[in-house]
């Protein structure tokens, strides 16, 4: 057991003794299955150390992940129910108008443009290396980190263990229950802390439990984060090299194709039935350029030559006409980071705007940093899930609140909703 876990366990023995005396039972662990958790009705105060269902989860999670059971129980005993987390995970009120223009303006704005240019200049060698290794261009990586946390300025203020415990054991009524997803993330978080020697009470992030500059969910750190500078440690809070490499690796693992555009301009069919047919698969690329044309959609010249399938993506603009793009497999890969077409186009738009304002390339190329032959990956990879926002990303409202670390972070949050993630 690590020293940090040991200290946490000793600090909580008194609180836990009450649970044991009350007869909390450790259920026999069943791999990859969780006990049914029946949340209390919107409690204002919850002491998770006194909840039998939580202590049973702790025992089962410890057995599945080979964690110390006492340390796991001790950590969860100090987790707190956070009412604001339960509120923030809820979708916008029904009937709230979506507005791409308003959403875009939250992210393509002076603060992010200035900070993004500085981040790009300071980390140009790492960005070039990430493109060389994974095929993801700098503007996409810079766009993601800017939308998520303004390059580390807003990484979230919620204790990760509190956010994940709240959504695991007291997921709010009124939306699709995703408590099982968050229990998996809580389990992965405890494993991650054990692997990195981190006190599980110390890390902070978004209301959905996303972590660091790129706002990765714990499972995404385990599966996709890389030690890109080869220093023997993965640090997504303070090490831009690891952040850049991990974002690129995540996209590569989710189907990013080197050299492929993210989207093309398109004129939609006048016939509403044909338009509806093209829109039916949503953001999943499902039609060849020839099929687009057959349904009355007109692509630009480069789009007509696209070798793969495309998706007709509609972004609403309140009372104005929608914006349409033909999304490629790379557009879809970005939505695996956060399940929202608005998010994907905001990332693309911010990155391209920063790229346009950068000075011309210097005549002398930036030397690539010295690295091991291949950047080592995080141990114990788990099934791929969206990096950041977990809940199905609610599309932006016409009058969206400022981006403040949502399901991913410390004070303010990223766009849309928490996920992948």
- What is the set of active-site residues? 148
On whether the CB atoms of residues 59 and 27 are closer than 8 A, the answer is yes
Distances (CA, A) of 301 to 99, 298, 323: 28, 9, 19
What residues does 327 pair with on adjacent strands? 263, 311
On whether the CB atoms of residues 179 and 171 are closer than 8 A, the answer is yes
Output the six-digit token pair for 356. Answer: 């346009």
Residue 397, classed as helix, strand or coil, is strand
Q: In what order do the strands lie in the sheet containing 311-317?
A: 263-264, 320-327, 311-317
CA 128 from chain centre, in angstroms, equals 23
| Distance in angstroms between the alpha carbons of the first and the last residue of the chain | 30
CA distance 119 to 307: 34
C-alpha closest to that of 314 among 300, 302, 331, 330 = 331
C-alpha closest to that of 357 among 118, 117, 142, 170 = 117
CA distance 78 to 401: 31
- To which residue do tokens 């007109």 refer? 298
Distances (CA, A) of 22 to 37, 57, 241, 263: 19, 17, 49, 59
CA distance 359 to 362: 8
């Amino acid at each position: 057991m690590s020293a940090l876990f040991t200290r946490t366990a000793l600090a909580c023995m008194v609180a836990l003794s009450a649970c044991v005396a009350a007869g909390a039972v450790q259920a026999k662990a069943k791999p990859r299955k969780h006990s049914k958790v029946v949340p209390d009705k919107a409690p204002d105060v919850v002491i998770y150390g006194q909840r039998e269902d939580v202590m049973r989860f702790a025992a089962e999670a410890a057995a599945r992940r080979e964690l110390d059971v006492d340390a796991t129980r001790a950590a969860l005993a100090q987790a707190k129910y956070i009412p604001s987390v339960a509120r923030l995970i809820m979708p916008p009120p029904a009937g709230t108008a979506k507005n791409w223009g308003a959403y875009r303006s939250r992210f393509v704005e002076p603060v992010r443009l200035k900070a993004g240019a500085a981040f790009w200049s300071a980390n140009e060698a790492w960005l070039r290396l990430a493109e060389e290794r994974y095929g993801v261009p700098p503007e996409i990586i810079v766009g993601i980190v800017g939308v998520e946390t303004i390059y580390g300025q807003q990484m979230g203020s919620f204790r990760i263990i509190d956010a994940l415990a709240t959504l695991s054991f007291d997921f709010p009524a009124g939306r699709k229950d995703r408590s099982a997803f968050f229990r998996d993330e809580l389990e992965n978080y405890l494993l991650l802390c054990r692997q990195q020697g981190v006190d599980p009470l110390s890390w902070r992030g978004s209301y959905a439990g996303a972590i660091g500059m790129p706002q990765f969910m714990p499972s995404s750190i385990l599966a996709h984060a890389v030690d890109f500078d080869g220093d023997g440690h993965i640090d997504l809070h303070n090490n831009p090299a690891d952040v850049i490499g991990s974002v690129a690796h995540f996209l590569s693992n989710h189907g990013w194709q080197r050299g492929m555009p993210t989207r093309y301009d398109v004129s939609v069919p006048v016939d509403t039935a044909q338009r509806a047919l093209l829109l039916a698969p949503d953001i999943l690329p499902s039609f060849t350029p020839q099929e687009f044309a057959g349904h009355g959609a007109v692509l630009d010249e480069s789009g007509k030559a696209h070798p793969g399938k495309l998706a007709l993506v509609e972004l609403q603009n309140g009372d104005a006409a929608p914006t349409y793009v033909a999304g490629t497999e790379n557009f879809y890969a970005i939505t695996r980071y956060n399940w929202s077409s608005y998010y994907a186009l905001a990332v693309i738009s911010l990155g391209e705007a920063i790229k346009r304002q950068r000075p011309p390339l210097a005549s002398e190329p930036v030397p690539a940093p010295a690295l091991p032959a291949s950047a080592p990956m995080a141990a114990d990879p788990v099934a791929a899930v969206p990096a950041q926002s977990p809940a199905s990303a609610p599309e932006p409202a016409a009058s969206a609140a400022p981006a403040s670390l949502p399901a991913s972070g410390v004070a303010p949050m990223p766009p849309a909703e928490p996920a992948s993630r």
